[in-house]
Each structure stands twice: as C-alpha cells, then as structure tokens.
Structure 1
Amino acid sequence: MGGSAGTGGVDTASVTFFVQPFVPGGGIEPLEGVEICETDTTNCVMTDANGNAVLELPVDQEVSYTLEKEGYASYLDSAIISAPTEALVGMATVQRFADMYALVMSPYPMEGTGSIFIDTTEALVGATFELLDTTGKAFYRDEDLNFSLDLTATTSGGGGGFVEVSPGVFQVGIGGTAESCELFRGWPGDVEGDIKVPVREGYFSRAILVCP
C-alpha cells in the first residue's frame, strides 16, 4: 500500500503513470505537463519530462481520475485499486479528436455530453458493446484506428464506444468475443461481465478490458 491520504486516513495505493502522445504508427515519447487529479479533489500530480507521475488513490472503492493538458483531449479513467499498479496512457490532441468526431458526425468540443471508449488488449476482433441505461451514438475503431459508424463489432484496430452521452454513471453490456475478458480499468457492472463507466461533460471516459 502507498499509505494514507485525505481526511480520515483512508488507505491508498500508488498508481505510477507513463503518459505519451497518441499518434497512430508513432513511436513512444513522453508527454510532460499532464495534470492528473483524483476526480473532484485537489489530489493532483503533474507528469515530468519523462512522462511519469505517481498518484495515491484510495483502495478497494470506486475511484476515478482526470488527465488534462492544453492542446489535448480531456480524459476520465475509473478503476478499483487494490494494490500499487501502473497506467500507460496515450493522449490524443484536440485536432485528432475533432477529426475522429467528424467521422461519426458528432460535434467536438463536446457540449453538454461526454463520450465512452472501451479498449481491448490484443486487438480483439468481434467484441461488442451495448449502452444499457442511457443513449449514445455507437462507434467502433477500424483497422486504421479511425472511428466508424459502419462497424458492428471491434476490428484489429481494437475498441469502440459511444459519443453524445449525457453525464452520469452508466452500464455497458460486454458481448461477442469479449465475454472472457477481465476488467482492468472501469467499474464492475451490476450484472456479471458488464461494466460501469462515469461520464462527465467534455471528457473522454475510458475503460480497458484485458483479453486472452
């Protein structure tokens, strides 16, 4: 454990971040100056010249944190942390997001809504995602890592999600080839195998599934 933080001496664990720009086909480069904050708190850190930062987060409860840097999209990740862990985050620029949202005919910057992206390891093909208790426009990422409204499941590009989602906390049904995946980022859903994701206005909410 990392110790205790905040009022009441809450037990915490360290999350060690490495943040880099998300550039399809690009190399690994550090992204300095990203502010990472436990959501709605002053518990914040900043990435250094190596793209690294360490944030203490409460253990064994639903937590979330934001990642923000001028010129880049704002990210919202969620998890249940039980032990020290690492987080590799690729952040896309505002221009990259504007281009992707244009492909799914959705305005960017987001106004009044947020979005959800569910990433799958191993570039899993054939996974499906269903937004269960709210509405949103579904998309999947194609082989060139671009958003597409024409796909009905994940491709070798991995991942998919929803744009134009109202703020709140929502359940996502996981199906297709992802039924044997394990949740790495996000919160467990009310039904086994489903997940739960918080959505904030203007943020790109991520969940990550580790798949065999």
Structure 2
Amino acid sequence: MPMTGTFMLPQLITLAGANTVARCEDAARSKMSGSDQSSFQPKATTPDGIKIEKAARALLKSVLKQSVDDRREFGGVIYRDDTTGKIGWTGPFRGHASGRVDVQQDAENRGCPVGTTPVAWYHTHPVKEFYNIQNGVLITMGAEWDKFIGGDEDLSNKWGLTGYVATFDGRFWRYDPPPSTMINGKPTSEAFAKGRWGPLNGKL
C-alpha cells in the first residue's frame, strides 16, 4: 500500500537498504534479459503491454525474498520513454512498514524522469498478518494480502496506472483500473466503475 507524507528518497535509505535496492535492480535487469521469462504467459496483449508486464514480474521477483525477510513492502513506478519507447522504472524503494511503501506517487510525474510517461506501478505484499502490542498484549490482524484495496486501489485509479503485486506466497497479481477520462490533466475514473484484480499464471 502506498504511503503518504515524506518521500523515501534514495539518500535517506540506510546503507544496507541501498545495497539491497542496487542488488534488486541488477537482478531485475538480469531476469528481463534471461531465460526465466520463457514460461511466462502475460495477461497483456500488446507488445508494449507485454514489455511492461515482464518488467513488473522481473522487478517483483528480484525483491520478493528480501521483502518477506524484512517484513517490509518494496515498490516503485514503471514508465515509458516518450522518445524511444524504452521501459524503465523507479525503485524498488524499501517501505517503512510491512504494509506501507512510498513509491513517490505524489511527486512530479510520479517520480519518473522528465520525458517519460508513467504506465504502471509495482509493490509487494510480504506478510499474511500484522502484529501490534496494545497494553502489553500481542494483537494479530489480517493483512488482506490478497486484495487490492485502500491506498493501492486509490493510486491506480487516480493516475490510471496498472498495478502489479507480488504476494509472500510467490503469486503475481495484476490490477486494471476502471475506464477513465482526463480532467485537468488527470485520469478520473468513471463514477462507480470497478477495476479488475486477480492473479496471473505462474508463480514468481
């Protein structure tokens, strides 16, 4: 789920976190050019959509284990270069909690470089349950890990971005926001319209 508030800029990440991000990015690029995508059947149907979906899958696969081990969400935004059509991404950013990550969705151009268009975003759902201590008592709460609701849904619907999620059990999910129209330069979902959410074939 995306955070609101202070952006988690790269220079604010701890050294261990920064090293993790670098390793994840290298792994994602390796996976995109490697053979582990050969059995993946994307839901996307256009060449551009398939490239975006493969990027999301590779990014999430590269960071999921670390996300689960740390009990922290990781995520970022996927974009298309307006001139070359090349697919790139921000992050993966390490969240401050097991149910929150700031992907810089409120930054200019969703934190993506000038001359690019944000097309999707990705993040992990690393835990099945949240834990909290109240008055010395351990409280367990369901994490709704298999749902795309609240801030997740709001982000995709507000900006018209396809949402990709990796859950702790290794599944790869996709959310398609409802049809939208542009108002004041922003996509605005049609009233009462619902997006589509579900797992894609093949585990990460």
Fold shared, TM-score > 0.5 on shorter chain = no
Higher helix share goes to which structure?
Answer: 2
Higher strand share goes to which structure?
Answer: 1
